[in-house]
Structure 1
Amino acid sequence: MGVLEKIKEIEDEMARTQKNKATNYHLGTLKAKLAKLRSELLIEQSGGSGGGGGEGFDVARLGDARVALIGFPSVGKSTLLSTLTETKSEAAAYEFTTLTCVPGTLHYKGSRIQVLDLPGIIEGAARGKGRGKEVIAVARSADAILIVLDAGKEGLNRHREILEEELETVGLRLNKRAPDVTFKKKATGGIKFSSTVPLTKLGPEPEKVAMNILREYRISNADILAREDISVDQLVDVVVGNRLYKPCLYFYNKIDTITMEEVDQLARMPHSCVGSVRGGFNISPDHREDDLLKTYMWKYLGLTRIYTKRKGQQPDLVDPVVLSKLRKGTTVKSLCMNVSSQMLRDFNFALVWGKSAKHSPQRCGLSHQLRDEDVVQIVTKTNKQQSQDKNYQRLVQNFADKYHKKKYEAKKQKQTKLRG
């Protein structure tokens, strides 16, 4: 029996099994087996011989954030990319117009957001249908996902549900956070399972369910500490360890083809934005103008503009440093890392003006959380303070070594020119 047949058999058994406290133990075992088989299937397809893997999408990571456009064919992804950015992606009335990944750059509020137009995917994309593996691989590398849906077809085809299932299958968790669970493998000592809160979703014997899940992955020595009431699916995700938690915005395009009642119903769905690219509803035809869709994208990406200031000078309000909650964070330390590693090494304190400051200016440390449009001045250590650092001698020696090496290479080049 192949992997696909085993997956189908387990899915059928789960569908037949009633969900209650008595069957929690059995369902937990089935879910662990199903997650393991799906991982094996993806490894088998990506690493198999015979050249069936196809050519992937190799796109350089640029800008302050990356957004992947995912959706079924002919929902308006290419037209959306051309509207958001200066890149012109081929758009036509037939399906599968886009056959590769087309990148574009959205300039918004001083930031550069990389937008990727991906080929339309179909049901079964997680198993490799219609270049689904390549599309999903790019989605895993994105900071956020923008799922584009056809408002006129959503009521009959449940495209949103299908796409969610496909992304869930490959380990993408949309608009969810990682469970507050500590999982650590050990060499010896057996399995120790404990929790700080009552566990109501794992049945009457949570420890038994956890041990059975670990047994499926051949883990016999580990410590698990749950700090929240987790479900079987969340526990499996923690044990597998390769799950990615991504913010996701659902954009219902072509609302000019449906009634106002249907538009209102779609707009009230969680994490949703309605509009029409060709009609100019909630998205401006000019990519430089603000609109509702760009505002939603900015919010879901968690971007923060920080204006820097030098001592005795006015702040630079033209070219902000854009920080991201999804990448390095939005602390003063993140700002220093974004500007210069030397600034982080010589950091003394920061003066902050803005919404995050209790008074202006506020003297802050590296852990201070910054907010949008804050003004920050980084004050570095004085020469005397730097000399008291325990690594000061090593830094001085490294600087001297680099200086003498550069001087020696310049002398060598000069001698070579004279001889030649």
Structure 2
Amino acid sequence: MSRAEGIDMIGDQILRRTIVLVEPICRGSRLQILANTLSALRGRADVILVTRRDYQTPHFHELVDAENLTPRVVAVETDLGGAWMRNLSRAEFALFVQALKGLEAELAARGRYDLVFMALDDYLKAYALAALELRSSLRHAVIRCVKYRVEYLFFIRPGALVRGAVLRAMTRWALFASGARLITFDERLSQQSAAYCAGLLPDPWFGPFSPELRADGRALLGVAPTDFVMLSLGKQDRRKGIDFLIDVFPQAARDPHVKLAVVGTIAAEFAQPFAELQRNFPTQIVHVNRFVPESDLPKYFAATDAFLLPYSEDFTATSGTLARAAASGVPVLATHHGLVGYRVKAYGLGAVFGVGDHATFIEALQTLRSRGAAQQDATRGAALEFADRCSLPRFEAAMRAALSV
């Protein structure tokens, strides 16, 4: 049998393929992609996860342990302060490199093994500085790097020329110097036929997402059938545009049937302005201020009339929530830039507006609200078609192809 089928040979001994996944953050969307990758590799390889010391959370248990996906874990003695999203320092990344050197010594006798850095975005600078060391120290590793934000590799925005050029140079150096290839979620990069690309992944979703859950979701949120509900989901910070929503909602709320549902905690810097907004519009804002298990998410999505992705200008990647909204048949209101904006426009998933632009947001909102039945059906059909392309089985097949498993 060939290595592509997940088998290695040493003499007369048959060994299963070994794949090492490096995921320092192991929270939120990073954890979801990790769990989906573990699902893709189930039964096809021996998987080792290198992650933070405090990786065990209720969400990890829900997505990984409860699904019998738990790999062998190498927990690195580093304290990330409970962070859900942050860039690793050079010193923090060095601890992971040291752990990988230990695994290299253990796995070298088996021959080649696969090493996948699951989110190069979270330690790009540190990785680039360590790239030559990785190549010389991990001689038996076939390295691949998953990266979410890659727009600057083929397009640099006029307002970010210097930053974009630096990131482009740093990413290309990191891949070249470490001998790695890139796995990305951005189909626009794959259209460039970049030789360093190993594969393209769809944004996966799983679970009973469906428009049929609308009544259950409305009951969960406590909103009326005639209300127009906008949903913002996840940790609410500047990157996700909570500051913009706080500013623009008073205009949208002039119609008392417009409701804003926020599911997730509010970043400390916006807690007071959001509380004031709630006081001003007590009947038009629903805030679910807690962690919501995956099992409840389909109801929240199905309950809404528009899913909000008002990302800040410096956020150009995609979001796993886009496919979930699509699977629920819910149109999206998103900023027009980056991969999210591109997909909303290219696949007909909703409407877009300018970053920080109140007027175009209200215009886009009115566009969605004024659609006739035929337009609603067309948008829902486009959304469900997009969701099918992003299903978990398609992600699993794409990940296996990228890793040649």
Answer with 1 or 2: which has the greater Rg. 1
Indicate whether the TM-score tops 0.5: no
TM-score by length of 2: 0.29
Question: Which of 1 and 2 has higher RCO (CA within 8 Å, sep 6+)?
Answer: 2
Which has a greater percent of helix? 2
